[in-house]
Chains A and B, each alone.
Chain A
Amino acid sequence: MSFRINLDQVVKKFDSFFALRSFSEVVKKGDRISILGHNGAGKSTLLNMIATLTRPSSGNIDYEQHGARLNDKVQIRSLLSYLGHEPMLYPDLTGLENLRFVARLNGQPHDDACLLEHLETVGMQKARNRLLRTCSRGMQQRLSIARVLVSRPQLLLLDEPFSGLDSEGLARFSKFFSDSDFSWLLVTHDMEQAWSMANRFWILKRGKLIHSLDRADLSHANFLELAREGTMAGVDQ
């Protein structure tokens, strides 16, 4: 299924502070985009707007599927799945129960076999009956990744998805997101990971897109140089 997201002159302002300035880009099926930038560069704000959690102060975000424009939020949200800084899972439910709730809400199959498959993908099958509040930060992060997979989206919006994961988890999910058919936008501060997984790169600096790059046009050294330009800028600079 093909989709396309057009971001046209998108601006996000909080009072007088510009979190994002005149951002214009296109996301389409097959894109695996790493978003890099210093703290406060506007990376998470950008994901929140694409996820329909907040509206742009000005500019447009248009969603298309099979060439037809999507105006309905329900249709747009069935296209996307968002992983933020919080797990969005209930502490008093087990991992399996949390996934069952998400699957039912999204109208996806919620039989145990199907959900266990997702838990196996994230390495949490054995801990499926543990209450979320008894799980470690890393285990909760693995369940969060399972949560975004359950709704079978076209595009994953991943805001620092690897924070709190152990080395096995890092290797597991780097491989999973590199090998899978999903398209994704990934916010990360790890330049090596960004390089190894993505086919496109957006580098933000103080709310502005300073580089939009294709992996095919870049050497590793070039990428690191350009990425450092964005990530080395401090919040106060």
Chain B
Amino acid sequence: MSPMLRVCAAMLAKDLRRELRSKEIFISGFLLSVILLCVIFFSVTASDLSFKKIGAGAIWICILFTGTVGMNRIHQSEMINGCYRGLILAPVEGGWLYLAKVAANVLLLGFAATLLLPLTAVAFHIPVFSNLPWLLASIYLGISAFAAIGTLVVVITANTRMKDVLFPMIQLPLVVPVLMGGVNSTAMALKGEPPGDWIQFLAALNVVFLSLGFLLYEFLLEE
């Protein structure tokens, strides 16, 4: 098995097992999303806005908050018992560790987003199943770029005193392009149109941030 696959498999197995046991991200992230969906639902009901127009925005607001809270939780649990030092000291390229960490984050956040889709479909009367492949491509490519940025930012802020505040403050401006791409791509997919250009934009963001993380992670991990 190649080092990349070995590290990815080990990291995924470990993170999934921990999540199944602790349900930390599910409880902190997914339930927050459900509350957010309710708030958006009641605000839309009280206004003249159309449910169909707000659907893509609602999905991405939930992904944004679930992702921010979830990534913070994932990283905090790595800091307990000095586990992060254990990862740094493993005889593995920092870049592989980064990609493995992003893969685990994408899987956990992607699962929460997939659970959100039926809820959003029911609450906002949007046809999520009519153009499912494009919709999933929009969401997963967006989540991947989001996780690529978040995994990098979380390490930058890890050794600061105000990490809980600094992480969203640095991460949110950086994910604006991802949100633009994600919302537009999702909105087009929900209308039944192929969001080719926006998908390309999201793919390009993935390439840029994953390459940046791959190259910088080793340097950022040093204490």
Segment at the A interface, from B41-49, B80-88, B192-200: B80-88
User: Which chain B residues (1-56) contact chain A, with CB distance < 8 Å?
Assistant: 3, 6-7, 9-11, 13-14, 17-18, 21-22
Pairwise interchain contact A82-B22, C-beta atoms closer than 8 A: no
Instruction: Confirm or deny: B173 has a beta carbon within 8 angstroms of a beta carbon on chain A.
Output: no
Q: A51-B89, A86-B85, A105-B7 are in contact. Are A91 and B223 (CB under 8 A)?
A: no
Contact A93–B18 (Cβ < 8 Å): yes
Number of interface residues of A (CB under 8 A): 35
- By a beta-carbon cutoff of 8 Å, the part of chain A in contact with chain B is 48, 51-55, 73-75, 77-78, 80-82, 84-93, 97, 101-102, 104-107, 131-132, 147, 151
Q: Is B90 an interface position by the 8 A CB rule?
A: yes
B residues near A85, Cβ cutoff 8 Å: 82
Q: What are 9 of the A-B contact pairs (CB < 8 Å)? A: A53-B85, A75-B91, A82-B85, A84-B82, A89-B83, A92-B21, A93-B14, A102-B86, A104-B13
Tell me if B164 is interfacial: C-beta within 8 Å of chain A.
Answer: no
Contact with A along B74-114 (1 / 0, CB 8 A): 00010011110111111111000000000000000000000
Contact A106 B82 (CB under 8 A): no
Q: Do the beta carbons of B218 and A77 come within 8 Å of each other?
A: no
Q: How large is the interface on B (under 10, 10 to 19, 20 to 34, 35 or more residues)?
A: 20 to 34
What separation, in Å, do the CA atoms of A92 and B83 have in the docked complex? 12
B17 engages A97 (CB within 8 Å): yes
Partner of A52, one of B3, B10, B82, B89: B89
Chain B hits for A80, CB < 8 A: 89
A89 to B: closest C-beta gap in Å:
6
| A102 CA / B81 CA spacing, docked (Å) | 14
Interface of B is mostly: helix
Residues of chain A with a CB closer than 8 A to B88's CB: 53
A54 touching B81 in the complex, CB below 8 Å, given contacts A77-B89, A78-B91, A90-B14 = no
Interface-central residue, A105, A106, A131, by most chain B CB under 10 Å: A105
Closest B residue to A73 using CB positions: B218
Question: When chains A and B are docked, how far (Å) is the Cα of A48 from the Cα of B86?
Answer: 12
Q: Is the CB of B85 within 8 A of A88?
A: yes
Given the complex, which residues of B lie within 8 Å of A82, measured CB to CB? 85, 89
Residues of B within 8 A of A92 (CB): 17-18, 21-22, 77
The complex places the Cα of A114 from the Cα of B134 at a distance, in Å, of 46
A101 and B14 contact, CB distance less than 8 A: yes
**Chain B residues within an 8 Å CB radius of A105:** 6-7, 10-11, 87, 90, 92
Q: Given the complex, which residues of A lie within 8 Å of B86, measured CB to CB?
A: 88-89, 102, 147
A86 to B6, CA, bound (A): 25
Chain B residues positioned under 8 Å from A102 (CB to CB): 86, 90
| A-B residue pairs, 4 tightest by C-beta | A86-B82, A88-B86, A78-B91, A104-B10
A101 to B104, CA, bound (A): 14
B182 CB to nearest A CB, Å: 31
Which residue of A has the minimal Cβ distance to B79? A86
User: Is there an interface contact between A104 and B6, defined as CB atoms closer than 8 Å?
Assistant: yes
User: Which residues from B are CB-within-8-Å of A90?
Assistant: 14, 18, 77, 80-81, 83
The 8 Å CB contact of A88, one of B11, B13, B17, B81, is: B81
Choose among B3, B14, B77, B80 the residue with the greatest number of A CB atoms under 10 Å from its CB.
B14
Known A75-B91, A78-B91, A101-B10: A84·B17 in contact at CB below 8 Å: no
